[in-house]
Amino acid sequence: MTACLRTGRPGSRTETNKPGPSRTMKHKTILPAPSLAVGMTATLALALSSSLALAAPDGKYQPLLDALNQKKQHALVEAEEAQLLIAGYQEFLADPELNTEEGPELRKSLIKERARYKQRRAQAGSIQVALQELQRVPNDEHVTLSSLQGAYADLNQLAARGKAAWDEVLGNRERFVKNLEREHEKHMRNAQNALNELNVEEQAAQLLLNSIDPNLGGSSDAEFFVALKLPAIKSAVERGFRITSNPKDPRRQAQTTLIALIAYSQYFWDHYSGARSLLTEEELPSDRRRNIFGVPDGKVLTSDMVTHNNSHFYYLAPKARESFNAKLKMIWGKEAVSVTTWDQKYDEQFGRACKGLATVSDEHLLPNQQVFALLEKIELLLNELDLVHKSIKHLDSSYQLQLEKAKQFGDEARLSSAHYNAEIWSRESKQLLRGFEKSTALLSQQLKASSESAWIPNARGISGSALILAKAQKRFYAVRKVKSELKKLLAPRDPLPTSTDPERGTPPAPLPELPGNDPAPLPPL
């Protein structure tokens, strides 16, 4: 091969019918000889390393594995050869000095080499798949056609008995399920009564209404100051969020007061969240940029709190709506006020109201801690409500688990899957046995033919046969296991032995004992 390429004839090969360029092109070369040698060496090394990687322990199909490896190596070498020739033909065709009469023949050769390259690469790939699948077939001498037939014997009768037993279990299940359901309903009613007695709505409403009542007796100076200033914030958020104010409706007053507390906490977001203590002097937010959404840089329109705007009306993003509406919905449910848009014209009024309920220290605004304390009380109340809901959910989940356990009836639940698998595998037995027989015959034929020089491997057939054998070997142990399980489940519940049938014990020789799980070398199907 190297000698041919050195003459500068890209079409020169062992075959005499390959065209080559005229004598005027002899000064050209497809590829320097050292590069070709390096390419061939790399291909052979790759093929050899792949062969070593796929080497399997000595077994029945080891000669077939070796022969497949050799065929794959040969296909890879031919693909490399075709690739080198393709590069050479392309170089000649790109030469402006190429004679006109030489072009068609070179293009034909180029097309042929491209087809040969694709064919050999595809052949090597299919052989590689066959190698991998054949490599995964366990060398289990216990799995034969006769042993498979013995494993499937009487499987359909056991499946029928298992189904009848499972139907009986289902008939007895209804009584137990109804008892558990009645008990569950009783406990859920008690839990709901406890939730009603907690009366979070009334407690929250009373706390919020007291916070804006300056005439409330027994209040401290701090509480009195908040009661004087908080209504201004409440009025600003009512106008900004376009909430109709109704002083005669205590529920509406409580809800808008809570919105005002939330807005105040977002205005002073760094103080309320505790993040201010982690910021440097340069990172501290400017008081002039504070806003109702808690956007640190004050650029509300470009933040993730607003989706779009129509003039001075800002449409709140889901994140912003959640920050205002979530607490109200937890307390008042469907009766809660919901905010969706903010009128930016009232931003200045809202800011003045918040500053009126704050103090100045070292040129920085300090929020009123009494307002934060009010909101924290609301959050504690909501946490208590959340715990009650979680308790109810846990109670319901616990009873659902008990109900599911009652439906299973312990070990008898295994009858369901056991008889079902037995029915399915019994119906599939003829197809699997036929496939096992054909696959064994095909692999034996390929094993015998692989010693011949003119052998062309049936890579697809080998791959499919290997998959069927692996499935059959796995199914062999699964069928024996389900038969053993059905026999145990269908046996009389008598502590004393009631059967002397030797087939109820250890499987007949030479079969091994049933494994707890499928054998380790079996591939996943």
pLDDT digit string (tens) for 197-220?
888 999 999 999 999 999 888 889
- 356/283 same-domain check: yes
- 421/307 same-domain check: no
- 362/224 same-domain check: yes
d(C-alpha 461, C-alpha 448), whole Å? 15
Could you tell me if residue 510 is inside a domain?
no
CB 33 within 8 A of CB 66: no
pLDDT surpasses 50 at 390:
yes
Measure Cα distances from 473 to 86, 203, 338 in Å. 46, 69, 64
- 102/167 same-domain check: no
pLDDT digits (tens, 9 = 90+) for 403-437: 877 766 777 778 888 888 988 898 888 888 899 88
- 221/240 same-domain check: yes
pLDDT surpasses 90 at 292:
yes
d(C-alpha 175, C-alpha 179), whole Å? 7
Lowest mean pLDDT across 195-204, 257-266, 300-309, 370-379: 195-204
- 83/164 same-domain check: no
The pLDDT of residue 304 is 93
pLDDT digits (tens, 9 = 90+) for 254-284: 999 999 999 999 999 999 888 888 888 888 8
- 69/160 same-domain check: no
Could you tell me if residue 476 is inside a domain?
yes
End-of-domain residue from the set 389, 422, 440: 389
- 253/291 same-domain check: yes
Q: What is the mean pLDDT of residues 494-502?
A: 43
For residues 117-148, one letter each, b for 16 or more C-beta atoms within 10 angstroms of the residue's C-beta and e for the rest, the string is beebbebbebbbebbebbbbbbebeebeeebb
Lowest mean pLDDT across 21-35, 340-354, 478-492: 21-35
- 99/159 same-domain check: no
pLDDT surpasses 50 at 5:
no
pLDDT surpasses 60 at 155:
yes
Could you tell me if residue 406 is inside a domain?
no
d(C-alpha 329, C-alpha 255), whole Å? 10
pLDDT surpasses 70 at 443:
yes
The number of folded domains in the chain is 3
CA-CA-CA-CA dihedral for 224, 229, 233, 238, to nearest 10: 70
pLDDT surpasses 80 at 39:
no
Query: H/E/C letters for each residue in 43-67?
Result: HHHHHHHHHHHCCCCCCCCHHHHHH
pLDDT bracket for residue 494 (50, 70, 90): low
d(C-alpha 504, C-alpha 138), whole Å? 28
Could you tell me if residue 178 is inside a domain?
no
Could you tell me if residue 397 is inside a domain?
no
Query: H/E/C letters for each residue in 244-268?
Result: CCCCCCHHHHHHHHHHHHHHHHHHC
pLDDT bracket for residue 362 (50, 70, 90): confident
pTM: 0.49
Could you tell me if residue 161 is inside a domain?
yes
Q: Helices 369-408 & 155-198, crossing angle to 10 degrees?
A: 150
CB 368 within 8 A of CB 226: yes
Whose CA is closest to 134, among 444, 520, 478, 454? 444
The pLDDT of residue 343 is 96
- 149/125 same-domain check: no
CATH number for position 71: 1.20.58
Lowest mean pLDDT across 50-59, 297-306, 330-339: 50-59
First to last CA, the chain: 45
Q: Helices 414-449 & 459-490, crossing angle to 10 degrees?
A: 150
d(C-alpha 316, C-alpha 20), whole Å? 76
The pLDDT of residue 83 is 92
Whose CA is closest to 307, among 341, 337, 347, 338? 341
Handedness of CA 291, 294, 296, 297 (dihedral sign): negative
d(C-alpha 89, C-alpha 91), whole Å? 5
d(C-alpha 401, C-alpha 20), whole Å? 80
- 261/241 same-domain check: yes
pLDDT bracket for residue 306 (50, 70, 90): very high
Residue-number span of the structural domain to which 152 is assigned: 145-171+412-504
pLDDT digits (tens, 9 = 90+) for 104-132: 888 899 999 999 999 999 989 999 998 88
- What tokens does 455 get? 């052998």
Strand (E) or helix (H) holding 444: helix 414-449
Lowest mean pLDDT across 173-177, 310-314, 381-385: 173-177
The pLDDT of residue 493 is 64
Could you tell me if residue 190 is inside a domain?
no
Burial class (CB in 10 A: 0-12, 13-18, 19+), 365: middle
- 309/370 same-domain check: yes
Could you tell me if residue 405 is inside a domain?
no
